[in-house]
């Protein structure tokens, strides 16, 4: 006797609690893939924007002109452009208030850049915690469905006079499907989380290096 494995049949014949677990895991998987595609787009765009801005910044042009041009660009609200604009704006403002206190001006500009950096990292980190959550609890939620389904299958055997593999196998298969779905939801989430955390950390280091170099440049400019 041969039988084909049908996921739909396993879902339909499972207990209501196992069905609920499967629906939750499927929804979590769909949401995690939505986050994966969204973070991929955002991080890729941030990396490209950083390369474009750095090329323009170190081309030797006038910083005031660059600041004005960025004010008319959509890219000025994120990434290195937003950090530069925050620092340069505060630098110009403090230079007018305290033209002789170069260190106070630099510290103020660095503080503004730190605030912009924090906002940028919050934007890049958005929803990564969700991927970590799915990756960590997905297998356990699936295991819960498996345990419950197995208990239900063995409990049903109590009403039978003779238990054979043919009788036990369908119930166990229905129970094990929740573990498989839990792993299906968790594995991509864990892989994507680890990859994106690494990429965000690289961007953070890149932003930090730019801030240090920009602060040094402002300090030299302040002493001129």
**1, pLDDT greater than 70:** no
Which of 210, 218, 196 shows the shortest CA–CA distance to 53? Answer: 210
Residue 32: predicted pLDDT: 96
- Residue 48 has a CB neighbour count (10 Å cut-off) of 12
Three-state DSSP class for 163? coil
Q: Cα separation of 180 and 113, whole Å?
A: 46
Token pair belonging to 47: 């990396």
Residue 76: predicted pLDDT: 58
Find the range with the poorest average confidence among 20-29, 166-175, 179-188, 204-213. 166-175
Residue 202: predicted pLDDT: 95
In the predicted model, what is the mean pLDDT of residues 162-169?
Answer: 59
CA angle centred on 73, ends 68 and 76, rounded to 5°: 85
pLDDT in tens, 99-158: 777 788 889 999 999 999 999 999 999 899 999 999 999 999 988 888 887 777 676 666
Higher-confidence residue: 108 or 76? 108
Q: Cα separation of 127 and 129, whole Å?
A: 5
Q: Cα separation of 220 and 60, whole Å?
A: 15
- Sign of the Cα pseudo-torsion (177, 182, 183, 185, in order): positive
CA 7 and chain centroid, separation: 31
Are the beta carbons of 125 and 39 closer than 8 angstroms? no
Find the range with the poorest average confidence among 25-39, 111-125, 175-189. 175-189
Residue 144: predicted pLDDT: 87
Average pLDDT score, the chain: 84
pLDDT in tens, 6-15: 666 666 766 7
Residue 170: predicted pLDDT: 62
Residue 37: predicted pLDDT: 96
Cα→Cα distances 194→138, 170, 190, 206, Å: 16, 37, 6, 19
Tell the burial category of 12 from Cβ atoms under 10 Å away from its Cβ (0-12, 13-18, 19+): exposed
Higher-confidence residue: 64 or 114? 114
Are the beta carbons of 10 and 173 closer than 8 angstroms? yes
Token pair belonging to 52: 């474009």
Are the beta carbons of 121 and 143 closer than 8 angstroms? no
> Buried b vs exposed e over 168-177: b needs ≥16 C-beta within 10 Å?
beebebbbbb
Residue 2: predicted pLDDT: 43
Find the range with the poorest average confidence among 47-51, 83-87, 173-177, 199-203. 173-177
Token pair belonging to 105: 């001006």
Cα→Cα distances 149→16, 50, 61, 172, 183, Å: 10, 51, 68, 7, 17
Higher-confidence residue: 221 or 110? 110
**4, pLDDT greater than 50:** yes
């Amino acid at each position: 006797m041969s039988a084909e494995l049908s996921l739909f049949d396993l879902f339909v014949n499972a207990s209501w609690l196992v069905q609920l677990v499967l629906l939750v895991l499927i929804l979590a998987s769909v949401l995690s893939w939505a986050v994966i595609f969204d973070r991929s787009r955002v991080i890729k765009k941030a990396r490209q924007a950083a390369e474009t801005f750095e090329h323009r910044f170190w081309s030797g042009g006038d910083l005031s002109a660059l600041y004005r041009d960025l004010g008319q660009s959509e890219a000025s609200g994120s990434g290195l452009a937003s950090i530069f604009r925050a620092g340069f704006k505060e630098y110009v403002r403090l230079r007018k208030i305290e033209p002789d206190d170069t260190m106070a001006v630099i510290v103020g500009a660095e503080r503004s850049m730190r605030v912009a950096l924090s906002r940028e990292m919050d934007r890049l980190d958005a929803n990564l915690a969700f991927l970590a959550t799915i990756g960590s609890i997905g297998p356990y939620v699936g295991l819960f469905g498996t345990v419950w389904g197995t208990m239900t299958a063995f409990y049903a055997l109590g009403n039978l006079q003779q238990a054979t593999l043919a009788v036990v196998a369908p119930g166990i298969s229905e129970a094990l499907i929740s573990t498989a779905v839990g792993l299906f939801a968790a594995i991509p989430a864990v892989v994507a989380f680890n990859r994106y955390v690494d990429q965000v950390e690289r961007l953070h280091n890149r932003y930090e290096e730019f801030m240090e170099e920009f602060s040094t440049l402002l300090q030299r400019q302040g002493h001129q």
